[in-house]
Each structure stands twice: as C-alpha cells, then as structure tokens.
Homo-oligomer: A and B are copies of this chain.
Amino acid sequence: MHARRPATLASLAAELGVSRTTVSNAYNRPDQLSPELRRRVLETAKRLGYPGPDPVARSLRTRKAGAVGLLLTENLSYAFRDPAALAFLEGLALACESAGQGLHLVPVNPQREDIANVHRAGVDGFVVYSVPDDDPHLAAVLSRPVPTVVCDQPRVEGVDRVGIDDHAAITKIAKRLISLGHRRIGVLCMRLGRDRNDSFVSLDRQRSAHFHVQRTRLAGLADTFTAAGVNWADVRVVERFDHSQASGESAAAQLLDADPGVTAIICTSDILALGAMTEAKRRNLRVPQDLTITGFDGITEARRVGLTTVRQPVLEKGKAAGKLLLGAAEANRQREITLETELVDGTTSAPPRTAEERWFGP
C-alpha cells in the first residue's frame, strides 16, 4: 500500500547503529565501506521497507535534478499532434535518454499566465521550443538560474540557441516560384502573436510578429518577392491561430475568395499546405496546373503527397538542443547551432498558366 514513509536514512542508521553517512555510502559509494556492512545495510533497508535515498532530498543536496525541462507554450497535447513538434520532442528525448536525464514537460495553460509552474519545476535546465518572444513563461525560464537552450526563437544574450536560417530557407521556395514565373501569390501563415487573428495580416502585424519563425519567414518572402519586382503590400497574407489542416483549408478559402487570381499559395508549414490542397480540390483547382502550393518542414505526410517544401531536420534540432544543454559544462562550446535546410521539389509546383490558358484550357 505504500501508506506513509516509514523509514529514512537516519532511522535506518539508528537501527543499525551506524552513521547516516555510512548508509548513504552503502547506496552511493559501495567502495567506501566493507562489503559485509553494506550487505547488512541493504538487508535491513529491505526489512524496514526503506525505499532508498529520497530523490528530492538528494537533489537539494547535490544540486542536480537529473531532468531537463521542456517549455512549449501550446497546450501540452499540441506537441503530440503536430508532426514537427513531435519529431523535435523525439530528438530531445533521445538526447536525454542517452544522457540518462529525464524529460520534464512543463504544464502551461496558454490562457492563464501561469508562471508558477515554471518556477515549480525541479530541473537542471530548460529547453524552450517555439514560443512567442513576449511570452511570460519564457521570461520566467530565463529568470531561473539554470542553463537554457532556445529553439526556433530569437537570440537571447547568453543563452544557447538551436535553429535554422528561416530567412534563407523560405527564400529557396520564393526563388523557385519566381523562376517558375509566379508573381501573383498569396501566403498562409501560422499565428503571429498570442492574440487570435484569423484573417488577413497587415504589414505592421507582419513586422511585429512575436513568433520569430513566422516573422522571419514572412520577411524572407517579402524581401525576395520585392526584389523580383512584386509589391509586397499587395500580397495577401492570411493568418490562422490554430495549426491544423482545417485551418489551412479555411485560410486558403479566405485567400482564394479575396483573390481568385493567385497562381501560387505559399504556406509557412506543411500542415497548412495540406489543408490548402484539400480546399483546392474542393474548388476543382488542379495542383499544380491551376494552382501551385508549397509548404515548409518536410513532414512525412508531405513527402507522401509530393508537396513542394523545404525540409528541415526537426529531429536533429531536438537532439542538438538536448546535447547543447547537457553538454553545458564543456568549455568553449558552440553557443549556437544552425542546421541546414533543403528545397524539396515536389509535384505541387509548376509554372502558372498563362492568361490564355486560363480561359481556353492548357
């Protein structure tokens, strides 16, 4: 029944007539006492039901918790739905596992600003994954006196960082579409701030977005298309708070309703792109003949449908974050890791139809 804690290291020591130190050593440093005594200690422990040194007390004394905290501002369960987040989690878990460290998922209620849970987590360090840069939980983590690694976040002074070059990555997509001939495009992006705005995005909101990744990708698109002679102010960008295929569908619908003339929809995630493809099919728009659609991430599902996208090594990101954090003691280590991305040419991108083709068929 494990009712109440019956024995402590001290009571065990008293029972045996030895010091607490000796009992402690029996568990932690077998070489520090005679095998015979150790045997007696362990045997008595079993008899009294002593479960071994209390992990919390040990942590207090040794100043090691044996666990890494993970902060995701989304509902914890979000991480289990989104393939990219999942792969990141897996990579991080692998790194923790091989270092014998636990992985402590910090519970966060995105509505209430529940900073307390960050302060309550007994961990040796934090990994922060893709939270808005003005998130109070992030601030709470940074205020804790433990090493931290941020991922898909803006740089923070003195904090290790893992990520990709989002600007360069999305530029690969943009350049490809430009070279195919696309000039009239639309964009679907994930949420840009903690407030919900399921609609078009003003230039101002684009620039002041609090999600680093989204802000940077939009900036990359703006820069590249502007350089190609497109007036970015005319490009419609549709935002969705929830990250799901359904969001991609409705966002694509909103975009196509507003401007049926777009020849390409660029999405800042594969999930959104998959939704957009569903919406295209509903409208009898053939992809890529009638409409080009691109994604971002390179998730398995995207590969299956042949989505044109940018693949990023999400699992490696998780691994890298873990290694960076757990190797924090190493001197002169690299403080920032930027992973490579790769353009994946799929079957969802093609040159736009000419005006003639639009009317008379290909």
Return chain B residues, CB-CB under 8 Å to A283: none
B76, A93: Cβ atoms closer than 8 Å? yes
Q: Which of A69-86 contact B (CB under 8 A)?
A: 75-77, 79-81, 86
How far apart are the CA atoms of A4 and B107 in the complex, in Å?
A: 26
- Chain B CB within 8 A of A282 CB: no
Return chain B residues, CB-CB under 8 Å to A90: 77, 80-81
How far apart are the CA atoms of A109 and B108 in the complex, in Å?
A: 29
How far apart are the CA atoms of A216 and B86 in the complex, in Å?
A: 31
Q: Which of A10-54 contact B (CB under 8 A)?
A: 51-54
A107, B117: Cβ atoms closer than 8 Å? no
Return chain B residues, CB-CB under 8 Å to A79: 93
Q: Which of A98-106, A127-135, A233-241, A305-313 contacts B (4 or more CB under 8 A)?
A: A98-106
B80, A122: Cβ atoms closer than 8 Å? no
Interface size on A, residues (CB 8 A): 58
How far apart are the CA atoms of A93 and B77 in the complex, in Å?
A: 6
B93, A102: Cβ atoms closer than 8 Å? no
Q: A122-B56, A144-B2 in contact; A107/B103 too (CB < 8 A)?
A: yes
- Chain B CB within 8 A of A94 CB: yes
- Chain B CB within 8 A of A178 CB: no
Per-residue CB contact flags for chain A residues 302-331 toward chain B (1 = under 8 Å, else 0) read: 000000000000000000000000000000
Q: A93-B80, A102-B107, A105-B103 in contact; A58/B143 too (CB < 8 A)?
A: no
Q: Which of A59-67, A188-196, A217-225, A255-263 contacts B (4 or more CB under 8 A)?
A: A59-67
In the complex, the 3 A-B pairs of residues with the closest C-beta atoms, listed nearest first: A80-B90, A76-B93, A103-B105
**Sample of 14 further A-B pairs with CB below 8 A, known A102-B104, A103-B107:** A2-B142, A55-B121, A65-B122, A75-B94, A76-B93, A80-B86, A80-B90, A80-B93, A97-B109, A100-B114, A101-B107, A102-B121, A103-B105, A105-B105
A/B interface sample: 7 pairs, CB < 8 A = A55-B120, A59-B59, A75-B97, A86-B86, A97-B107, A97-B108, A103-B107
